[in-house]
Structure 1
Amino acid sequence: MSQTTDNRTYEHAEPLFTHLMLTDPHGPEHAALRDRIIEICLPLADHIARKYAGRGEAFDDLLQTARLGMVMAVDRYDVTTGSPFLGFAVPTIMGEVRRHFRDHIWPLHVPRREKELQGTVRMAAEELSRRLQRSPTAIELATELDVQVIDITRTLVAANAFQTRSLDTPARDNDGEPGMTVAETFGAEDPSYCLTEDTITVAPLLAQLPPEGRQLLIWRFYETLSQGEIAERLGVSQMSVSRKLTRLLGSLRAQTADEQPVPAP
């Protein structure tokens, strides 16, 4: 193998995959090059395994799982798509580690529906992450899987039920030293509680919106476009956009109280 490949790192592995694609899949050069790619990608798997350390699973198990995910990423990556290997490998490896937690740690009761949907949501999230080059929103996942947004929300919350911790466990201070117990840190109201509650309340109503209304909210509040920018996309006046948003938001506020169907904007 040429010396030029000796200094490759996983951040710039695409030329190696191009070379791999041109070799005989059953030949010794292909096998040697595949082994070389796996070797230079091991630090990526190790890094991701360390990210999940300290969550109730032995690090050796996490490392083995992450490396298995990395090998899967090497074998599945298609360099002809033009996407960087790193953008494909990270979700693949993290998906394998999360599946390990899902399959081995469920100390809290999680409804069967959320358990079954979690695997589907995970795979859809990985696919959308590759396609969008960012993490998908709950609405995008719901649209992709043709399920209610509230089901996606519950599934994502259930994904955090992998481990529990006693309230008597000492919490760590800023220097990493044991301090007060977890129970002793409680007492103050979380400032985000009301926001979370409002989000859960309005999620089913957002799912009922017609596509035009949902797109309007996505542009305004997820992509943070100005009313003028939205007006340009729609070919209408800014005042028209303002009226649509006012009617739509007013309708949503009303529905949180009387739970009547949300009319089209």
Structure 2
Amino acid sequence: MAPEIIANPSTVSTGDARELSRELFRRLAEAEPGSETYSYVRGTLIELNMSLVRFAARRFRSSHEPMEDILQTGMVGLIKAIDRFDPDRGVEFATFALPTVLGEMRRFFRDTTWAVHVPRSLQEARLAVAQATDELEQTLGRPPDNTELAAHTGLTEQGVADGIAVATARTAGSLDAHTPGDSEDEHPGPLDRRLGHEDPSFVTVDDIQSLKPLIATLPERERAVLALRFTGDLTQAEIGRRLGLSQMHVSRLLSHTLTDLRAALTG
């Protein structure tokens, strides 16, 4: 598969793209910078290896930044890697390019997406720790601890810890947020006080208005029992003494009346 007849490099399989890239890098080294051949070979290498950028971008799919912006930033890293790659060093291009692509993406987040001001030194520490984490995970087969990260980056263990912790500066919590365990009614924030909310008393008013005509149709004794129980707040025994009824009779009247009212409301 000669480079001159690659109709659509983006459709080439990963294995073929790797083999073609080796040949194209040899041709790029031989071509005169700025020539038509140089531009064609360089452009074909970019298209052949765009899948590497998409692979790297998956690490940031949970971020709030548009994926298109992340991919464009990764393409900058890919182009830099192509321009810097030396095929005579015996390293696969993907192995060489991935840290560069990821570095550009992390630099994009570092420089453009901080929610609060963070000193440059801490931003650099975070970037160094993130890059070292990726490299050590590949060699160790597990996430590195702070001691290993410190040895790899040249930072102190406290510097590593600061670099990890500063990542939380990318997002800022709302000052209107409630303290964990606090009730929203007891400690409303400024935003809560500005926004409307449903008042549970409206439901009570609606129920009362719906009950009024239903209660009006009840026999006088049942209305008297309800009034003494729920308005006068009397016990069943006190109601019985006042109306000359037994407590058991009052209990049956209340139960029967409440059941009928509930059925009328829900029916």
Q: Which residue of 2 aligns with 1:79?
A: 87
TM-score (norm 1): 0.51
Letter in 1 for 2:86: D
Aligned pairs (5 A) from 1:37-116: 37-107=45-115, 110=118, 113-116=121-124
User: Which SS does the other structure have where 2:170 is aligned?
Assistant: coil
1:162 is aligned to 2:136:
no
CA distance in 2, matches of 1:134, 1:147: 22
2:155 to 142, 147, 154: 147
> Residue 102 of structure 1 contacts residue 159 of structure 1 at CA under 8 Å; is this kept in 2?
no
Is this contact kept in 1: 2:99–2:131, CA < 8 A? no
- Structure-2 separation of matches of 1:36 and 1:42: 10
8 A contact 1:107–1:163 mirrored in 2: yes
Larger Rg: 2
Retained in 2: the 8 A contact 1:50–1:59?
Answer: no
Unaligned runs of 5+ in 1: 167-182, 185-265
Distance 1:8 1:32, change over 3 A: farther
> Deviation string for 1:49-88 (max 9, x for gaps)?
3442341112221121111111112112221111111112
> Of residues 25, 31, 38 in structure 2, which corresponds to 1:30?
38
Kindly tell me: are residues 84 and 132 of structure 1, through their superposed partners in 2, closer, same or farther at Cα, counting changes over 3 Å? farther
Contact 1:141–1:152 (CA<8 Å) still a contact in 2? Answer: yes
d(CA) in 2 for partners of 1:115, 1:56: 19
Q: Compute the displacement of 1:100 (Å).
A: 1.0
Q: 1:18 aligns with which of 17, 21, 26?
A: 26
Which structure has more RCO (C-alpha within 8 Å, separation ≥ 6)?
Answer: 1
CA shift for structure 1 position 163: 3.1
Tell whether the 8 Å contact from 1:74 to 1:89 is kept in structure 2 after alignment. yes
| Alignment partner, residue 250 of structure 1 | none
Q: Compute the RMSD of aligned alpha carbons.
A: 3.8
Give the structure with the larger helix fraction: 2
What TM-score comes out, normalization by structure 2 length? 0.50
CA shift for structure 1 position 95: 1.3
Contact 2:106/2:127 (<8 A) preserved: no
CA contact (8 A) 2:122 2:166 kept: yes
In structure 2, C-alpha distance between the alignment counterparts of 1:51 and 1:3, rounded to whole Å: 34
Task: Output the CA distance in 2 between the equivalents of 1:36 and 1:62.
Answer: 21
2:49 aligned counterpart, secondary structure: helix
The structural deviation recorded for 1:2 is 3.7
Which consecutive residues of structure 2, in runs of 5 or more, have no partner in the other structure?
Answer: 175-179, 182-267
Decide whether the 8 Å contact of 1:46 with 1:67 is kept in 2: no
| SS of corresponding position for 1:159 | helix
Q: 2:133 and 2:31 mapped to 1: Cα distance? A: 32
Q: 1:41 to 1:157 in 2, by over 3 A?
A: same
